[in-house]
């Protein structure tokens, strides 16, 4: 049998390119799925709550973020009025009502509204957000909590 | 130039395996597990609705007050007596053993931290008390 040349100019790159493309597509798809959210929020623990998966929470839901602290890195300041945002875009209480009202018209009063609030937010502010939801006709509201803490930095933040 | 046969039994798989291994190692190293979130449902009854939906199920009221300085967790008041997050647990267990359809009415002080409410809701879920209404004071 003839010895194969070390450098083969006819090397078939097809399978390698196939695999690389497939991986690129896979990661592009999975990365865009991670929703944008307010990263400054520290959630309280809720081990016993309904675990959020694609099956238990439909795609058509609304998560309202309520943050109590400044976004900037270390030495963050407590905000005088908590910051309300959806998908990391700051909105006013009036906007909350309008958005919830519009969703309720489209999906009915069972539309899931989740409030993802910092555990240090005073209840008063949560109340304002809840009142806007009730004014729009949504009586059932959920709070987001941490069922399983896999990223250690949330534990660190708590101290 | 001679035409290459369609099926080459000597096809060099080495670069492909190299790349695949490198990618596997890269993703094993970079992927970190994500937090799993849960949701705790509450009802926000309208004054008219709550009187219309009168049932025979017992209604228990727990108040969430402004947290004291020594204890970061909320202070709960049930039947006029103060509790903290550990001592309220057996109370809710008792309520659920009497009737799992009991309605828990949580009255929150405006200054109480949201975490105190979520902690209480978590215990309600632990004992399968699903009828939780949140009122604000």
pLDDT of residue B48: 45
A29 touches chain B (CB under 8 A): no
**The dihedral sign for the CA sequence A15, A17, A20, A22:** negative
Contact: A145, B11; criterion CB under 8 Å: no
Nearest to A115 by CA among A33, A38, A32: A38
Chain B interface mutation, best of A58, A143, A155, highest count of B Cβ atoms under 10 Å: A143
pLDDT of residue B57: 66
pLDDT above 80: residue B127: yes
Q: Tens digit of pLDDT for each residue in A119-157? A: 888 888 888 888 888 888 888 888 988 888 776 554 444
**pLDDT confidence tier of residue B96, bands split at 50, 70 and 90:** confident
In angstroms, what separates the C-alpha of A66 from chain B's closest C-alpha? 10
pLDDT of residue A3: 54
pTM confidence score: 0.73
| Nearest Cα residue in chain A from B126 | A48
**pLDDT confidence tier of residue B133, bands split at 50, 70 and 90:** confident
Size of interface A-B (CB pairs under 8 A): 164
pLDDT of residue A156: 45
- Cβ–Cβ under 8 Å, residues A87 and A35: yes
ipTM of the complex: 0.71
pLDDT of residue B52: 41
A25 touches chain B (CB under 8 A): no
Between these two residues, A141 and A81, which has the higher pLDDT value? A141
pLDDT of residue A33: 58
CA distances from A112 to A10, A83, B18, B71 (A): 58, 21, 47, 33
| Nearest Cα residue in chain A from B124 | A48
**pLDDT confidence tier of residue A72, bands split at 50, 70 and 90:** low
pLDDT above 80: residue A44: yes
- Cβ–Cβ under 8 Å, residues A82 and A125: yes
């Amino acid at each position: 049998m003839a010895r194969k040349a070390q450098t083969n100019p006819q090397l078939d790159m097809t399978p390698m390119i196939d695999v690389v493309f497939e991986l690129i597509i896979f990661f592009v798809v999975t990365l865009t799925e991670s929703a944008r959210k307010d990263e400054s929020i520290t959630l309280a623990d809720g081990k016993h709550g309904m675990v959020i998966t694609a099956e238990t929470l439909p795609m058509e839901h609304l998560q309202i973020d309520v943050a109590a602290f400044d976004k900037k890195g270390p030495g963050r300041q407590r905000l005088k009025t908590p910051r309300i945002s959806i998908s990391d875009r700051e909105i006013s209480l009036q906007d909350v009502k309008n958005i919830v009202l519009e969703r309720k018209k489209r999906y009915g009063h069972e539309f899931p509204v989740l409030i993802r609030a910092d555990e240090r937010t005073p209840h008063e502010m949560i109340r304002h957000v809840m009142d806007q939801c009730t004014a729009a006709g949504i009586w059932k509201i959920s709070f987001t909590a941490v069922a399983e803490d896999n990223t250690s930095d949330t534990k660190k933040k708590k101290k | 130039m001679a035409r290459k046969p369609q099926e080459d039994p000597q096809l060099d798989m080495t670069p492909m395996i190299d790349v695949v291994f490198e990618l596997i190692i890269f993703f094993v190293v970079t992927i970190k597990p994500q937090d799993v979130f849960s949701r705790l449902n509450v009802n926000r009854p309208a004054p008219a609705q709550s009187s219309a939906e009168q049932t025979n199920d017992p209604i228990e009221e727990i108040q969430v007050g402004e947290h004291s300085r020594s204890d970061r967790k909320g202070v709960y008041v049930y039947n006029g007596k103060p509790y903290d997050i550990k001592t309220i647990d057996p109370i809710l267990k008792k309520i659920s053993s009497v009737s799992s359809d009991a309605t828990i009415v949580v009255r929150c002080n405006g200054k109480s931290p949201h975490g105190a409410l979520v902690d209480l809701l978590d215990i309600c879920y632990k004992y399968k008390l699903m009828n939780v209404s949140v009122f604000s004071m």
